[in-house]
Amino acid sequence: AAEIFYEDDADLSIIQGRKVAVIGYGSQGHAHALNLRDSGVDVRVGLSEGSSSRAKAEAEGLTVKTVAEAAAEADVIMILTPDQVQRTVYADAIQPNLKDGDILLFAHGLNIRFGYIEAPQGVDVAMVAPKGPGHTVRREYEAGRGVPCLVAVEVDASGKAQEIALSYAKAIGGTRAGVIKTTFTEETESDLFGEQAVLCGGMSHLVQYGFETLTEAGYQPEIAYFEVLHELELIVDLMVEGGISKQRWSISDTAEYGDYVSGPRVIDPSVKENMKAVLSDIQDGTFARRFMEDQDAGAPEFKQLREKEEGHPIEATGRELRKLFVWTDSDSDYTEGTAAR
Ligand code: NDP
Ligand code: MG
Ligand code: MG
């Protein structure tokens, strides 16, 4: 069985006795930095000169330094820039400032798993990976709760990497929910698979096909939007609360029967074969290489795909509809229709 840690398994005073640098102030970065601060940890944020995030961090009263200064001051360095720039930020500004006894932390294992970052001898490498978006990590912490996290240790030079990681997880609220032990390999491969095959890639394209099928058959787009997108939240909440069984218990018998007879017609065994092919591209590094090479070239493929997907008709329908209803509790930083971020 998986090893799970809770509040009593982690000692907050360890991280309170360290100097922590959070590199990046985006989705995860802002949540980690603010939660650490509110847990009584000495934290500074590392950003590049002229960073657009600087004003936001300073407005919260956080200390902002360059990445190099923050890394040099701190002995715990959490790297929370986008995965595709971590390698460069690390080589330019972090590695030259590492010393024996420091610990490098990640919230996702991609750069370590695929060898884009290697730590010098004498430096610990560990992971504290919240299993939720940064804005939820912050919101849950403020509500006295937490988002479940994964912890992993890749290099344990000090012999204390795990207790430091657990202490960090406690400071951001993770042990309030539960922290599961894993490895960099397992986290990286399963995280990429989950987001590509099911959570993000699978779900987005399932919803798009559902919307296309209904609207091409002449149903109103607004109705199609409700049936294939809006109600998802309610279904997913039930699944998270009590598994697929609770979801099936709550829906009508009609819906439940339709699930059993039509679900396997839509998601047929060929889908599982496709999933296996996706997993194999993740495991052998094909996906990581394609992503990094595109990013290194200025992300032409990524930008083109983003533009194309944002142009899907369900987005325009949703944008208009959401203005007309009051259910939406829309999130802080996100602006509708920002294809050209
Ligand atoms: P974001 O895209 O939100 O990070 C943006 C931040 O990184 C901004 O503050 C940006 O500053 C800064 N940044 C970008 N480039 C540089 C650079 N070259 N030097 C210094 N700072 C830079 O990242 P996420 O929070 O999405 O992801 C961070 C890590 O967390 C990743 O490893 C990701 O896989 C992992 N993760 C993310 C989750 C999420 O909820 N998004 C969930 C779990 C894990 P500026 O304003 O100057 O551009
Ligand atoms: Mg991920
Ligand atoms: Mg219905």
Q: What is the pLDDT of residue 303?
A: 98
Query: What are φ and ψ of residue 48, in 5° steps?
Result: -75, 160
The rounded distance, in Å, linking the Cα atoms of 196 and 81 is 20
For residue 174, which ligand has an atom nearest its CA?
Answer: 1
Q: What is the pLDDT of residue 338?
A: 57
312 is catalytic: no
Beta carbon of 24 within 6 Å of any ligand 1 atom: yes
For residue 331, which ligand has an atom nearest its CA?
Answer: 1
Beta carbon of 83 within 6 Å of any ligand 1 atom: yes
Which one-letter DSSP state was computed for residue 119? Answer: P
Q: What is the pLDDT of residue 212?
A: 98
**Annotated binding-site residue numbers for Mg(2+):** 191, 195, 227, 231
Q: Name the residue type at position 294.
A: D
Q: Are strands 149-155 and 124-130 parallel, antiparallel or unpaired?
A: antiparallel
Beta carbon of 194 within 6 Å of any ligand 1 atom: no
Interface ipTM above 0.95:
yes
**pTM for the model:** 0.92
Q: Name the residue type at position 83.
A: D
3-class secondary structure, 20: strand
How many angstroms is it from 180 CA to the middle of ligand 3?
36
Q: What is the pLDDT of residue 116?
A: 97
How many angstroms is it from 255 CA to the middle of ligand 3?
8
Show the domains of the chain with their CATH numbers.
Answer: 4-182 (3.40.50.720), 193-324 (no CATH)
Q: What is the pLDDT of residue 333?
A: 64
For residue 150, which ligand has an atom nearest its CA?
Answer: 1
Q: What is the pLDDT of residue 316?
A: 97
Which one-letter DSSP state was computed for residue 120? Answer: P
Beta carbon of 225 within 6 Å of any ligand 1 atom: no
Q: What is the pLDDT of residue 341?
A: 42
Beta carbon of 109 within 6 Å of any ligand 1 atom: no
Q: Ligand 1 pocket check: which of 67, 78, 81, 332 to mutate, most ligand atoms within 8 Å of Cβ?
A: 81
The rounded distance, in Å, linking the Cα atoms of 25 and 45 is 7
For the chain, the first-to-last Cα distance in angstroms comes to: 42
Q: Which residue is listed with tokens 């992971």?
A: 127
Atom of ligand 1 nearest to the CA of 51: 47
Instruction: List the catalytic residue out of 108, 135, 205, 312.
Output: 108
How many angstroms is it from 195 CA to the middle of ligand 2?
6
Which residues, at least 6 apart from 86, have a Cβ–Cβ distance to it below 8 Å?
A: 79, 106, 111, 116, 117
For the beta carbon of residue 121, count every other beta carbon within 10 angstroms.
7
Q: What is the pLDDT of residue 340?
A: 42
- SS3 per-residue string spanning 141-197: HHCCCCCCEEEEEEECCCCCHHHHHHHHHHHCCHHHHCEEECCHHHHHHHHHHHHHH
For each of the chain's 341 residues, which pLDDT tens digit applies? 999 999 999 999 999 999 999 999 999 999 999 999 999 999 999 999 999 999 999 999 999 999 999 999 999 999 999 999 999 999 999 999 999 999 999 999 999 999 999 999 999 999 999 999 999 999 999 999 999 999 999 999 999 999 999 999 999 999 999 999 999 999 999 999 999 999 999 999 999 999 999 999 999 999 999 999 999 999 999 999 999 999 999 999 999 999 999 999 999 999 999 999 999 999 999 999 999 999 999 999 999 999 999 999 999 999 999 998 876 555 556 666 654 44
3-class secondary structure, 225: helix
Q: What is the pLDDT of residue 328?
A: 59
How many angstroms is it from 133 CA to the middle of ligand 2?
9
**Annotated binding-site residue numbers:** 25-28, 51, 53, 134, 191, 195, 227, 231, 252
Atom of ligand 1 nearest to the CA of 93: 19
